[in-house]
Structure 1
């Protein structure tokens, strides 16, 4: 069985990823409609845990996983590594003494317990003494009542997650209130759109991005630009000697590396390095998201048997967060990077197959499974294949991110 999964980051107060919430579905037939939550959790976790490994999805971060009544009663979470997961009790469970006892037993085995979408109902009081994390939907509880909740739960040494944080303004507001962690899509949106002056390093990176967007790349020009920055030379050599890229040859010079890689891989590298440098003062999760989008859009675009440069899908995904990283409008930024018109159109929101592919990866990020189903139907693709592309993109991004870090 193939496991369908999306992950949504939970950030700390410094906008560093603390954990990921994993959202599952199973099978092509019941990926999107409502299915038994307990059946979904047990079957998918078994498949994912045994065949893929949660760490392939979350890296070194913890995984928040929703559990429903039956899976808790049968102690299913105990099949997982207590150091890698947080057991999230969903708000819809029927609470009684038996469930409280089961959760208390699970906590006693070393598994952190989290309460999802805490709604201030009395049924949760029995959980407070052994709960590690409480998630609060900031759109459901009156904001004037939240400070008292935070004060109370902090006295019990319980960490608080603010959910549905959609803007940087909301992030700062709830950070000031005292929340420990934050979940929402604020990171993937520009904080402020302003005219940000580009320094010498940024200009070099934009120059490289420009080269990567051209139909035919001038390797000699790339060589001369990279030679000016020793750190880029070092990173290129480390990148090209990564087993994922090159399993057979030891590359020791810049010129050798460029000639060995070939045009498409050189384009990928300089695009990756340029974006990494441009976003070096932004949270690392942004770069990871961009890498996942790049590989996913490349895989899906290729599966649609589109003609033209194979970099088209890759660049579309990679550059889709450039506005967030540079704090400028995407229209202004793309005007400085002469990529192909179809990439430019997709990034600026013009309807078409590339824009649809970009929307598809965002559906995965937000676990909007209906959007995934709609895309698959529109382009006559197997839903399982689309999910496989996303899983491959996540694994590739994790490996690539380690290769391009200083």
Structure 2
């Protein structure tokens, strides 16, 4: 499933990007329906920022301006995000009550920046304004005299003013002359659409499982309990341990027993398989098949090279080597929430690591692309003969035919 957000840059007086306003979008038409509930829009924007995109990605490591409704301010939702990455935009519809003021004081104490969106003075602002860092003034809804009067009347050290919906050179020049510090509007840039793949609840559960399984000393009971909450994965595990491959003496129906039969290494492998397979929506099935086949080839190459201790690492690198393509985001972002060991992260991102890992991956990729000579030459450098390479690939294909979920 695709999810969308729009971003519009906010500039300072030196034409440097200070941050981006994050705007809720239902699709890629780049419009916002006035019928959309404000809490729904703010909630979805925050969830998408956090779970699906990541704030640094959306804002290029600047600040995100996000609309906050009454409920989200009272519940201090902002504290889920780093204080140096977020500006809390208090919507003009928020009634300034004692509860809201207390929440804003707490946010200020934690170091968050507060802004008032579409500023028009209303009762309660006399108590809110001392807490605010930025006042946003709508240049379409206000005239030149009002724009200047707001700065004259409310200006103080530590308070900045942002001219929004600026559409002409004349408006920009006037805002600059009047003392506005930040600028936003069509004159500078229209909102741009950002698209990401939304992970399903099952995918999120499996990420938790992946992280548990990658801990130095995995907690068996915790893992079994989490597996049991994932009906689809539980089914796959029971189907696997009851297959001819494991040949149990009698049918296994207990998840805990099934996990003990598999062991941590095998459980991790099959979790990776169902996780990758679950990302197939809106993607060619061949991408998933290639990921799994590549992982098995690399595992077989590790065995052939006399490195059985690296089989699991090789399988992981191969299976996740196309995760950036499946999720349509850079690899560093795609694996950000997965607690892989550093050697696996480095190999996937391509930022160093053991030569054997990179060489093995290159051999597998060259072979699957039919670049036989290069594959053979690279394999020779890590002690793999042409016959060993052919056998590794043939056995991987046979494995795929038997176990591909």
Q: Which has the higher contact order (CA 8 A, sep 6+)?
A: 1
TM-score, reference length from structure 2: 0.48
* CA radius of gyration, larger in: 2
TM-score, reference length from structure 1: 0.48
